[in-house]
Amino acid sequence: MDRKEAVTIVKQICKSCSLMEGKTIKLMPPKASNSLSNTYQIHIETKDEIILACAKAIAKKHNLAVKQKEGSVIVYKPYPDDSAR
């Protein structure tokens, strides 16, 4: 996903999930090949299952993936062969 789409998704998540208030949200630029994606990623610092469910519902509408990792919820565009990861 590009930066504009990532910002739109962050806004949708914040609007849909009132528990987002006070949470740290990072918009991570594309990284090297060891990352989940070669496009922008959204990192939300939380372990809250309700926020995870909310992020998954919005990500699904945009054909994005969600992963919970090290106290964060990560929304990203998977590689075409993501099933192998």
Quickly state the pLDDT bin for 7 (edges 50, 70, 90).
Answer: very high
- In one-letter notation, the amino acid at residue 79 is Y
Say if CB 67 and CB 79 are below 8 A apart: no
Whole-structure pTM value: 0.84
Distance (Å, whole) CA 84 – CA 17:
31
The whole-chain average pLDDT of the chain stands at 87
Residue with tokens 């910002």: 7
Q: What is the pLDDT of residue 35?
A: 72
In the predicted model, is pLDDT for residue 82 greater than 70? no
Query: Which residue range forms the structural domain that includes residue 71?
Result: 3-84
- Do you know the residue count of the chain? 85
Distance (Å, whole) CA 53 – CA 66:
9
Question: In the numeric block, which tokens belong to residue 37?
Answer: 């994606």
In the predicted model, is pLDDT for residue 33 greater than 60? no
Q: What is the CATH number of the domain that holds 64?
A: 3.40.109
Task: Say how many domains are in the chain.
Answer: 1
